[in-house]
Structure 1
Amino acid sequence: MPLSQLVAALHLVDVGERNRRHPRTFEVPTAEELDAVGVGDLVKLIWEVGATGLSERMWVRVTATVGSRFTGVLDNDPVALEGLLHADQVVKFTRNNICQIWVD
């Protein structure tokens, strides 16, 4: 598949939906944990490329919050999705995309 088609098919996973389908094997943060996410926090998101089977979980540092919407920057370069995403790339997402929250 050409790179332009891969980029067009790239999307963030709705982890809430995945948790509803597989509650015992796919855990997500609680509502209280998500409510506490703020600027500077690290959260993990999952990207998938359409039906190709390509996916990657990556850490994002939150740079802004407005209600349930967030903006952040990728904290590292991808391995599986190399060439589709890159470190420091700006990402917009919602609480439904957060699969993990970094806890010190």
Structure 2
Amino acid sequence: MRQEYDGYPVRAGFCGPGWELEDCAAIARRHRQTFEVPSAAALSGLKVGDLARLHFVITAPDVVADRRNPRAERMWVEVCKIHDDSSIWGHLTNEPALIESLAPGDVVEFAHRHVAQVLPVPPVD
């Protein structure tokens, strides 16, 4: 059975047809001088409405075979739900260029380790 949230499909399991989320925390540990990720405080402060940039590594063989294509699409999701098990759901805000199984609005499941950048929602005065 297909899971939906807010009328959009949920892409659970940190991957889907033709893509998988990159573990940005692991990349940052291996390349401390050149790859930064948000601090633990920024990640623990993530809330509904914030934007998180994720790296969707392309796994579709036909796309990967063309060396002109990028290794990953870097796209933003708007946090829509934070679960008790620390998994997070966010609506995709970008139109993927090469990943055909994703569309704007789709709900992508991710964890703190997948986040490359955070743009917090400004506080309302």
CA RMSD across the alignment: 1.8
Q: Which amino acid aligns with 1:73?
A: H
Are 1:88 and 2:112 matched, yes or no? no
**What is the SS of the residue equivalent to 1:17?**
helix
CA contact (8 A) 2:58 2:73 kept: no
Aligned length: 97
Aligned-residue identity in percent: 35
Which position in structure 2 is the counterpart of 1:35? Answer: 44
Q: CA deviation at 1:54?
A: 3.1
TM-score of the pair, normalised by structure 1: 0.83
Are 1:76 and 2:85 matched, yes or no? no
Which stretches of structure 1, 4 residues or more, deviate above 2 A after TM superposition?
50-54
Larger radius of gyration: 2
Higher relative contact order (CA closer than 8 Å, sequence separation 6+) = 2
Structure 1: tracts of 5 or more residues without a match:
1-6
**What is the SS of the residue equivalent to 1:87?**
coil
Structure 2: tracts of 5 or more residues without a match:
1-15, 65-69
TM-score of the pair, normalised by structure 2: 0.70
Counterpart selection for 2:76 from 59, 82, 85? 59
Counterpart selection for 2:30 from 11, 14, 21? 21
Which position in structure 1 is the counterpart of 2:17? Answer: 8
Counterpart selection for 1:44 from 37, 53, 57? 53
Give the structure with the larger helix fraction.
Answer: 1
Counterpart CA distance in 2 for 1:25 and 1:91 is 27
